[in-house]
C-alpha cells in the first residue's frame, strides 16, 4: 500500500538523516529509487526546486514525492514521517535524557556515523557530476554540452569565492545553470 510505503520510507529518512540537508539527499535518493517513485532526472530537478523554495530541503522533497505518489494525503503522510523522528528525539532529549548525547558510547557511534555520511555525500556528488558528463557505466559517452556547462559553473563557483570573498549562493548558481542550460542546449 502506497501510503504505508511512503510513511515507512520517509520515517527511515527521518531517522538516519544526519548531517543536514545534503546528508539527507543521498538517503532520499536511495529510498526513492528503491521504490521507483521518481526517475533519476526528476529527482535532480526536485532537489533544485527544493533548494530554491523556502523551508528545509528534506521537508520539501518529502512533500513533493508524497504528493506525486498519492496526492494530498501522500504529501501529508510523507512530510509527517520525515519530521516525526527529529521531533520526538528533541522532545526526549530536552525532557528526559539531557546527558544521553554526552555518553561516551553514544559519542563513539556518532564518531562513526558522521564521517560515513560525509563519504556518502561525497560519492553522490562525484557520481552525479561524472554521470552528467559521461553517462552511465553501461554506455559511456562524452556529453559535450554537459561538460561545457559543468566547466562554466565550476569556474563561476570558485572564481566568485576568490573575488567576492563569500560563497556564491546556491539559488544564484541554480539560476545561472538554468540560463546556461537554455543557451547551450537551445542552440
Partner 1 sequence: MNILFDLFLTFAKIGTFTFGGGYAMIAMIENNCVERKQWITHDEMMNVTVIAESTPGPIAINCATYTGYKKAGFIGALAATLGIVVPSFVVIWVISAVMDNFLELTVVANALKGIKIAVGILILDAAVTMIRKMPKKKLPRAIMICSAIVMLCINVFAWNFSSISLMLIAAVISLTIFILNGAPDQKGGAGK
Question: How large is the C-alpha radius of gyration of the chain?
Answer: 19
Residues 60-89 as x/- pattern, contact with partner 1 by CB under 8 A: x--xx--xx---x--x---x--xx-xxx-x
> Which cell numbers hold the place of 149?
556547462
Contact call for residues 65 and 38 (beta carbons, < 8 A): yes
Using the rule CB under 8 A, is 17 a contact of partner 1? yes
CB contact burial 106-137 (16+ within 10 A = b; e otherwise) = eeeeeeeeeeebeebbeebeeebeeeebeeee
Q: From the list 2, 3, 5, 16, which residue makes contact with partner 1 (rule: CB under 8 A)?
A: 16
Number of neighbours of residue 101 by Cβ within 10 angstroms: 11
Q: From the list 8, 115, 142, 144, which residue makes contact with partner 1 (rule: CB under 8 A)?
A: 115
Nearer to partner 1, 6 or 17 (CB): 17
Using the rule CB under 8 A, is 127 a contact of partner 1? yes
Nearer to partner 1, 3 or 85 (CB): 85
Using the rule CB under 8 A, is 39 a contact of partner 1? no
Contact call for residues 40 and 110 (beta carbons, < 8 A): no
Nearer to partner 1, 2 or 16 (CB): 16
Contact call for residues 124 and 30 (beta carbons, < 8 A): no
Using the rule CB under 8 A, is 94 a contact of partner 1? yes
Residues from 134 through 153 that contact partner 1 (CB under 8 A): 137, 145-146, 149-150, 153
Nearer to partner 1, 125 or 159 (CB): 125
Q: What is the DSSP string of 65-106?
A: HHHHHHHHHHHHHHHHHHHHHHHHHHHHHHHT-TTGGGSHHH
Using the rule CB under 8 A, is 102 a contact of partner 1? yes
Using the rule CB under 8 A, is 93 a contact of partner 1? yes
Using the rule CB under 8 A, is 59 a contact of partner 1? yes
Using the rule CB under 8 A, is 41 a contact of partner 1? yes
Using the rule CB under 8 A, is 154 a contact of partner 1? yes
CA distances from 136 to 38, 39, 124, 128, 132 (A): 18, 14, 14, 10, 9
Amino acid at each position: 500500500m502506497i501510503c504505508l510505503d511512503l510513511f515507512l520510507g520517509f520515517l527511515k529518512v527521518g531517522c538516519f538523516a544526519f548531517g543536514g540537508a545534503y546528508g539527507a539527499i543521498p538517503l532520499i535518493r536511495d529510498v526513492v529509487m528503491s521504490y521507483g517513485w521518481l526517475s533519476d532526472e526528476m529527482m535532480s530537478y526536485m532537489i533544485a526546486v527544493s533548494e530554491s523554495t523556502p523551508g528545509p530541503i528534506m521537508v520539501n522533497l518529502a512533500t513533493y514525492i508524497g504528493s506525486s505518489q498519492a496526492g494530498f494525503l501522500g504529501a501529508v503522510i510523507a512530510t509527517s514521517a520525515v519530521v516525526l523522528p527529529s521531533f520526538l528525539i528533541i522532545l526526549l532529549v530536552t525532557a528526559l535524557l539531557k546527558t544521553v548525547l554526552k555518553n561516551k558510547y553514544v559519542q563513539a557511534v556518532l564518531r562513526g556515523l558522521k564521517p560515513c555520511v560525509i563519504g556518502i555525500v561525497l560519492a553522490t556528488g562525484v557520481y552525479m557530476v561524472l554521470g552528467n558528463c559521461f553517462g552511465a557505466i553501461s554506455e559511456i559517452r562524452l556529453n559535450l554540452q554537459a561538460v561545457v556547462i559543468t566547466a562554466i559553473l565550476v569556474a563561476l563557483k570558485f572564481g566568485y569565492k576568490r573575488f567576492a570573498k563569500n560563497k556564491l549562493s546556491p539559488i544564484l548558481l541554480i539560476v545561472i545553470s538554468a540560463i546556461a542550460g537554455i543557451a547551450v542546449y537551445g542552440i
